[in-house]
Amino acid sequence: MRLLKMALVVAGLCAATAFASPTAPRNGAEYTTLKAPQPVQAQGQKVEVIEFFMYHCPACYALEPDMLAWVKKQGDNIVFRRIHLPLTGENDPEAHMFLTLEAMKLEEQLHARILSTWHVERRRLNSDEANIDWAVKNGIDKQKFTAMYTSFAVMTRLKNAGRVASTYEVNSTPTLVVDGRYVTNPTMVDASNPGTPRQQLNAATLQVLDALVAQARAGKK
């Protein structure tokens, strides 16, 4: 009888594990759905995918190569954009740098270089002075950068950055939002699929993204 009970317990655990799969993500497990869906910038059949990140975040840096490959593979199926989470609030220097470069249409061009500064060179861009110095050393006109850095438009967006993150119910990075409604991140995927090797977690997260993009596209037809 004892052996039978143990067999039933093992079978139950196996069955539970079988239902846990990044390729068939479950609401409330591998992803959640926002209570209030947000407007998207994508039009037609394209699906918007947002990555909430922070320059200093090691997990964001680790995800970056796989994320870029995934975005390239998706091609015209998606509109991809980043939002920097303001960790220290309205005066967060990293978010300030991101918003300034974005306003100057330089962020995408310099994104990899900033990540390398943080994670390879181990230089902390955590003050206005450090940001301005970095910009000048990387070929940006100091006067133009400073003017944009202190502009009303950038300062307003920086002030509202925390509210934007709250609207998407984001409080950690990296976090990914699909079609303004579906939220996932490696932590969710890991918790819902225990035993996933650390080196495979990013790939599993992108499998969840694949499924959520397909789900969003199906809803547009």
Claim to verify: residue 109 and residue 158 sit in the same structural domain: yes
Task: For residue 14, tell me if it sits in a domain.
Answer: no
The helix or strand, by DSSP H or E, that contains position 53, with its residue range, turns out to be: strand 47-53
pLDDT of residue 20: 59
pLDDT of residue 1: 46
> What pTM was estimated for this model as a whole?
0.88
Predicted confidence band at 5 (pLDDT cuts at 50, 70, 90)?
A: very low
Predicted confidence band at 10 (pLDDT cuts at 50, 70, 90)?
A: very low
DSSP H helix total and E strand total for the chain: 9, 5
Average pLDDT in the 203-219 region? 95
Claim to verify: residue 164 and residue 96 sit in the same structural domain: yes
Claim to verify: residue 189 and residue 162 sit in the same structural domain: no
The candidate with the shortest Cα–Cα distance to 188, out of 49, 26, 78, 14, is 26
Where is the domain boundary, 137, 154, 169? 169
Claim to verify: residue 148 and residue 202 sit in the same structural domain: no
Predicted confidence band at 80 (pLDDT cuts at 50, 70, 90)?
A: very high
Q: Which domain holds residue 128?
A: 89-169
The answer on pLDDT for 4 being more than 50 is no
The candidate with the shortest Cα–Cα distance to 138, out of 148, 150, 126, 130, is 130
Q: What is the pLDDT of residues 88-102, one digit of tens each?
A: 999 999 999 999 999
Task: For residue 111, tell me if it sits in a domain.
Answer: yes
Q: What is the pLDDT of residues 135-146, one digit of tens each?
A: 999 999 999 999
Claim to verify: residue 154 and residue 164 sit in the same structural domain: yes
Average pLDDT in the 181-203 region? 93
Distances (CA, A) of 7 to 11, 16, 167: 6, 14, 46
Tokens of 40: 């998207």
Task: For residue 19, tell me if it sits in a domain.
Answer: no
Cα angle 198, 199, 203 (rounded to 5 degrees) comes to 105
pLDDT of residue 117: 98
Claim to verify: residue 117 and residue 159 sit in the same structural domain: yes
CATH of the domain at 58: 3.40.30.10
Claim to verify: residue 51 and residue 75 sit in the same structural domain: yes
Task: For residue 48, tell me if it sits in a domain.
Answer: yes
Number of domains in the chain: 2
Claim to verify: residue 79 and residue 110 sit in the same structural domain: no
Place of tokens 């080196």: 199
Task: For residue 6, tell me if it sits in a domain.
Answer: no
Claim to verify: residue 116 and residue 188 sit in the same structural domain: no
Q: pLDDT exceeding 70 applies to what percent of the chain?
A: 90
Environment class of 120 (CB within 10 Å of its CB; exposed 0-12, middle 13-18, buried 19+): exposed
Distances (CA, A) of 219 to 3, 74, 163: 48, 18, 28
Task: For residue 15, tell me if it sits in a domain.
Answer: no
The helix or strand, by DSSP H or E, that contains position 78, with its residue range, turns out to be: strand 78-84
Q: Tell me which of 7 and 138 has the higher pLDDT.
A: 138
Claim to verify: residue 155 and residue 101 sit in the same structural domain: yes
Place of tokens 């002030």: 159
Predicted confidence band at 2 (pLDDT cuts at 50, 70, 90)?
A: very low
